[in-house]
Amino acid sequence: MAQNPKLVIVESPAKAKTIAKYLGRGYKVEASQGHIRDLPKSQLGVDVDNHFEMKYITIHGRGPILAKIKKEAKSASKVLLATDPDREGEAISWHLAQALGIDPASPCRVEFNEITKKAVQQAMQKPRPIDMGRVDAQQARRALDRLVGYQISPLLWAKIKKGLSAGRVQSVATRLVVEREQEIDAFLPEEYWDVTAQATLQTQKGRKQKFGLSLSQLDGKKVALVSQADAHAAQKRVEKASLTITQVKPGEKRKMPAPPFTTSSLQQEASRKLNFTTMKTMQVVQQLYEGVELKDEGVQGLVTYIRTDSVRISDEALAAVRNLIPSEYGDDYLPETPNIYKGRANAQDAHEAIRPTAVDRTPESVKASLTKDQYNLYRLIWARFVSSQMTPAIYDTMTLLAEGDGVTLRLSCESKRFSGFTSVYEESKDDESSVAETQLPKAAVGDAIRIEEVESAQHFTQPPARYTEASLVRTLEEKGIGRPSTYAPTITTIIARGYVAREKKRLYPTELGIMVNQLMTDYFAPIVETEFTANLETQLDSIETDRTDWRQLIDEFYPPFQQMLEKAEKDVEKIEVADEVSDVVCDKCGAYMVYKMGRFGRFLACPNFPDCRNTKPILNYIQAPCPKCGGRLLEKTSRHNRKFYGCEHYPECDFVSWDMPVQERCEKCGSWMTFKRTRKGEAWRVCSNEECRNKVPAESVDEE
């Protein structure tokens, strides 16, 4: 008589489908679809008078799922809990064990870092008890978030307006955005000038070379030009100076590759290179992790576990990539010993970095099976991983000084001699600034130079840049705020709540966000202090690793928090939030419409609600005419949240374009040009005529 199959419980149906194919007969795979139990939405759910006992209930709508799992568990020879390999996944397994009557100390938990046939089958042979350290750390986080959110949010509703919320991490993120805006508002720009010269070098061998230099010193002192008069005086001295080369300092620079991706660095690079939001990055990479149907291979998990702050990789993966590099790129691209990367000081290091599950599965080999977004993100992950184990790029550098008549000009430049890892991948930066790459002059000390042209240019010091999603994630990580799983939902929440707005990738605090932040900093200062929040994260880590009592952390947190809450409820006065009035007239009652925030962003509404319920979308016009009819063009958003451009006279005029039209005609055919940015960050103006498609370089401005 055949033994009943083993029941394997995972979180998502997509993962269940993939794993079922790997395990075959003898196993049945069911999906819990995330948590099956949680704290009730209608009440606090944390008993502050009974040592913070948590009141868990079956989540509304999950009853049928749990009933089905219980039925399958009764007839199974064994139940194995295979939820995600992190705190949240461990907690889901613990809740399932509680609901199914499984002893958490029994070998019921299986864990794998990647969804491949080998990894899954090996994990099934090595079940372990549920890690109560992870479970308790998750319970502590859940209790903290519930106590803060459910007790401050009603205060915000009563004192400011309904629908607001507060949270430990989201409040800190909002504060960071607000304080950056305050820095920008307080910034006083300072004027400065620079002087540059185009020169011709007459070498001792009779050759002529042209290159640019910058004014570095006057009469042996570093140049600091703060006015137009200073700049023009310096410019005249450079024009009259008789200059010779006094120093030629050649050198070599080695640029090392970046480590493979963590959750944070993947979100940052996908934002810079692919223009993905943090939430979109996590949605797409989740699909790659859970499994994609590949031609001739079936369903395959393409990347390792996606919520990690580790840069470590397995010995097996290291051997595979070191085998691939010389065969694909040549022996010169493989270092003698593997590149070893050190993670952040407070990284949990429970999992590997994000990497391809099979490095020989190149992006091109699976392109036909992936969506455009999946392919672009997989290519990013694959290239970053391969490049991380390649040799450094080597640059020849030169520093050159030309002096005479008290004038010192300087040139610093570099030229790539060996591409190394950059032949596969190069990391982007939010604040890109580097030495110009150019052909190095063949100059020698004593060579004379002739000044051809001198220019002076005015500049002003710039305020700190507003956060992008990428730079905010980086700051949260650097300050120890949140964990890999929290970055995307945190940013999504503060935008959805209307505390922060996103325009052209930059994050701005709204008036509402500034008000809420002021209340939080006035009455709940520790909650929004980065050091306090980071210390809580460290204590949560300690619960997991050292098995300290999670209730002790809540015991220390709650009494002072309760005092803050009582003071705020007594002292905070009602704040009237006036709606921002637009210049759009309501076409039903004649009132000026006001801006409101909805689940899909800002919209226009009549202020005479509920007597007048008229609403309108906000129309964003761009500064270019419709190429078909000459009307105005609107910036619109597709169902899949992709930006496109269409005519205001639709449907009479059906012009539509993914690329933004600009006020410029093609010099070859006369059609309108469009602005396009490539995946590499290059900016072009491209002819809209499909038969022409002439393209010219463009300034990489905020035209997106």
DSSP calls for 497-544: TTSEEEETTEEEE-HHHHHHHHHHHHH-GGGG-HHHHHHHHHHHHHHH
* One-letter amino acid of 214: S
> What does 205-263 look like in DSSP terms, one character per residue?
TS-EEEEEEEEEEETTEE--B-SHHHHHHHHHHHHH--EEEEEEEEEEEEEPPPPPB-H
Q: Which residue bears the tokens 């040592």?
A: 51
Per-residue DSSP letter, 641 = S
Q: How far apart are CA 170 and CA 166, in angstroms?
A: 7
3-state helix, strand, coil in the chain (%, to 5): 35, 25, 40
Q: What distance lies between CA 557 and its chain's CA centroid?
A: 31
Say which residues have a Cβ less than 8 Å from residue 598's Cβ, sequence separation at least 6.
Answer: none
d(CA 285, CA 213): 46
Place of tokens 């010389």: 326
Length of the chain: 704
Neighbour-count burial for 468-484, b at 16+ CB within 10 Å, e otherwise = bbbbbbbbbbeebbbbb
Known catalytic residue at 150: no
Distance from C-alpha of 609 to C-alpha of 349, rounded to nearest angstrom: 53
Q: Under a CB-based contact definition with an 8 Å cutoff, are residues 238 and 451 in contact?
A: yes
The closest of 103, 121, 99 to 8, measured between CA atoms, is 121
From the candidates 305, 425, 558, 645, give the one annotated as an active-site residue.
305
DSSP 8-state code for residue 114: B
CA–CA separation, 556 and 549 (whole Å): 12
What burial letters (b/e) apply to 71-91, b meaning 16+ CB within 10 Å?
ebbeebebbbbbbbbbbbbbb
Helix (H, G, I), strand (E, B) or coil at 132: helix
CA atoms of 31 and 9, how far apart (whole Å):
6
What are the angstrom distances between the C-alpha of 105 and each of 46, 96, 102, 120, 130?
Answer: 25, 13, 9, 22, 6
Q: Could you list the active site residues?
A: 305
